[in-house]
Amino acid sequence: MRYGVWMSLVPADDMSVARRPQASDRSYVVAVCLSAIFGVLGVQHFYLRRWGEGLLDVGLTASAAYSFLVAEAPLTGLAFMGLDLLHTIVVTSLLFIGRFKDGSGRVVAYPGQKLD
């Protein structure tokens, strides 16, 4: 039985177990569908309990709508929508490959994904 670098009484194998990523209790399929359909609104972030990112997406969408409808600044609206769309593409891609984490820091794992 090997021991950790710090000469701990806890075997190294047991120490590595504590560092392994854990799977989220949130559904992978639901998260991916929400991200693909309602991604620019941030619905997937609220589902995954990532409140800050959800509010960011809502804010970007609201800013784009305000720019288009009230301020009559279509270029500003396009910039806000572009940022929101780029953020949604990145998040959806990370969800697809099983690298996105929920609000508790646990991986939203796809079915059969091995967490190392």
Q: Are 30 and 43 in contact (CB under 8 A)?
A: no
Give Cα separations from 80 to 44, 71, 89, 102 (angstroms): 19, 13, 14, 25
61-91 pLDDT tens trace: 999 999 999 998 999 999 999 999 999 999 9
Is the confidence at residue 19, as pLDDT, over 90?
A: no
Higher-scoring residue by pLDDT: 15, 96:
96
Each residue's pLDDT tens digit, 37-52: 999 999 999 999 999 9
6 has a pLDDT exceeding 80 = no
Domain residue limits, the chain: 22-96
Give me the pLDDT at residue 7, please.
46
Claim: this prediction has a pTM higher than 0.85? no
